[in-house]
Structure 1
C-alpha cells in the first residue's frame, strides 16, 4: 500500500491535509473503524501542535459545534446563530436560557487547561468529587476510556448528556496528553448512540471521532489561513486598542463590538474596517446587534 504524502500547497496552506485513505475509507467493523479513528486523531494531534493554528479560536468554534449538537439532542430548535446571540448579547443580570447554558458550559470547558477545578466552572452544580469519580471510570486506550466515562455518567444520570459528553472529551484529552479540551465526540454522535453501551458505544465513539477529527483538521486549516490574514492587516489599524481587539478575534468564535476595548463608535468602525479588509466576517446578517468573527 502506498501512502500519500501531506500536501503543502502554499504559504497560507502549510498544514498537512488529512490523508485521503482516512477521509475516503468505508469501514464497518470495530477493528477497522478504530484503526481509522486512531489515524485521524494522530493527524489532528500533529495539526494541533502547529504554531500557525489559533488554538483558542479553534477550541471555541468546536465548542459551539458541540453545543449545537447537544441542544439538538435535547430537542430544542436553537442552532449556531441563536447560540451566539444567547451568549454574546447577554446583558448584566440576563439569563442565557437552557440553550445558552449549554453553550456557556462548553465554552467554559475549553478555555482553561484541564483540571477538576477548571471543570467546576462548566458544571457549577456538580461537586468536584463527582466530576473526579466520573473521570476515574474511564480506563484503557483513549477512545475506550472516553466511551467508559460517557457510559458511566449517563448510567448514573441519564439526563446529564452535556456533562457526559464534555467529560468524555476530557477523558480523551487526558489520555492523549493534550492540555486543553478539544470538543470532538458530541458533534459526531447521534441521539440514539447515547443509549448504547459496551462495544456498540465504543464503535459509535470511534465513528464520531473519525468524522469530527477530519472536520477539526479542516477547520484548523481554514482558521490558520484566516488568522494569518488578520495578523497581516493588523498593522494597518490605527485605532487605540486595536491590537487587543485583534487578539480577541484570534481567540473567540464571535465578538460583539461592545466587548472590544474601545469606545462604542470606534469599536463599530474597527469592525467595519476589518470586514472591508476581508479579515473578519459579520456573522448575523443584521443591521444591528451584530457579531463578528474570523
Structure 2
C-alpha cells in the first residue's frame, strides 16, 4: 500500500464549519429546536460526505462515546478507559462483562452498513421480527421517527436503554439516507430524558442532536487532521506490514499492539515509532497492556 507524499493537512481548512448561529442559539420551543437540529444534521451530512473524513474511525470513536453514555444510564462506573480495556484487551474465551457488552454492541452497530442483519449482529438477543416491529414504530420526519422508536422500545423494555438508542439512531440513519448508523442520541441525552414521552421526548431528542452533531463535526475535523498526519508519515515506516497497521489505526478508535499484523516486538516498536512521529497517541498511560489510537 502506498500513500501520497504531499502534505494534505492544509486541505482540511476546506471542511465546512458548523454555522455559529447553530451553536449559539438558545431555542426552547419544539419548533425552534427542530429547525436547529435540522440545520445541524444537514451540516453533519455534508461533513460526512467529504473524502478527508475518516468515517470508520469517526463512527468507532462516536460508538465509544455512546457506550459510555449508556453505561452511565445503567448506573455502572465504567468510563472511556475501562470500556477500551474491556473490548481491546479481551483474550479468546474471555467474557467482556456488562459494560464491555454495551461497547461491543455499539461497535458492531457502526462497523457495517445499516441493515437488519447489522442490527441483529449488534443486538443478538433480539428476534429479527422484534427489531422490525420497533423500527416500524418510527414515522414522520427523521428526528420524530427516531424519538418514536426510542419511546416504543423503552415503553416495552424500560431497562433496555442501549437497545433503544441503537435502534433510534438506526431509524435516524435510515430516514436521513445514511449508509451507516452514526451514534448521536445517547451522548446528547440525559438519563431523565429517557423517561419522557411525546413532545417532551421529541424536544429532548432535538436538543440532543444539536449538541451531538456539533461534537461529531468537531471530532470529524480533528480526526481528519490526525489521519492526514498519519498518512503523511506512513512512507517513513519500514516494518513489513506497516501499511496494514496504518489502515487499522485509520479505522479503529484504539489498537493493541498484539492486534497488529506484525510480530510482538515489531508491533511495539512500530507503535513507539508512530508516537515519536506524533502520528498516534498512547491512550492508557500505562507501561504494559498499552493501547494506541490516532
Structure ranking higher on relative contact order (CA contacts 8 Å, 6+ apart):
2
Instruction: Indicate the SS of the match to 2:51.
Output: coil
How many Å apart are 1:14 and its aligned residue? 2.4
* Contact 1:13/1:225, CA 8 A, preserved across alignment: no
Deviations 1:145-176 (A, max 9, x none): 00000000001111111000000000000000
Shift of 1:262: 0.2
Rounded to whole Å, the distance in 2 between the matches of 1:167 and 1:159 is 14
Name the counterpart of 2:93: 93
Q: How does 1:198-213 map to 2 (within 5 A)?
A: 198-213=198-213
**What is the DSSP-based 3-state SS (H/G/I as helix, E as strand, rest coil) of the residue aligned with 1:11?**
helix
Secondary structure of the residue aligned to 2:12 is: coil
| 1:83 correspondence with 2:83 | yes
Q: Deviation at 1:178?
A: 0.1
1:11 is displaced (CA, Å) by: 2.6
Q: Which residue number in structure 1 is paired with residue 268 of structure 2?
A: 268
Runs of 4+ more than 3 Å apart: none
Partner residue of 2:168? 168
Structure 2 gaps of 5+ residues are 1-8
Aligned to 1:4: none
1:237 matched to 2:237? The reply is yes
Change (3 A) 1:248 1:153: same
1:130 CA displacement: 0.5
Distance 1:283 1:89 in 2: 13
CA distance in 2, matches of 1:137, 1:194: 17
Task: State the alpha-carbon separation in 1 of the partners of residues 15 and 77 from structure 2.
Answer: 35
- Tell me which residue corresponds to 1:246: 246
Report 1:183-198 matches (<5 A).
Answer: 183-198=183-198
Cα distance in 1 between the residues matched to 2:269 and 2:36: 47
- Give yes or no for contact 2:12–2:52 (8 Å, CA) kept in 1: no
Q: Which TM-score applies when normalising by structure 1?
A: 0.96
Give, in angstroms, the shift of residue 12 of structure 1.
3.5
Match of 1:40 in 2: 40
Q: In structure 1, what is the equivalent of residue 109 of structure 2?
A: 109
How far did residue 10 of structure 1 move? 4.2
In 1, the alpha carbon distance for the partners of 2:11 and 2:121 equals 39
Output the aligned Cα RMSD. 0.9
Instruction: Report if the CA contact (8 A) 1:52-1:224 is conserved.
Output: yes
Q: How many residues were matched structurally? A: 286
In structure 2, distance between residues paired with 1:241 and 1:13: 32
Q: Aligned equivalents of 2:38 and 2:167: distance in 1?
A: 20
**Structure 1: segments with no counterpart, 5+ residues:** 1-8
> Are 1:143 and 2:143 counterparts?
yes
Does the CA-based 8 Å contact 1:142-1:171 persist in structure 2?
A: yes
In 1, are the aligned partners of 2:66 and 2:183 still within 8 Å (CA)? yes
Partner of 2:12: 12
Task: Report the Cα distance in structure 2 between the residues aligned to 1:121 and 1:255, rounded to whole angstroms.
Answer: 22
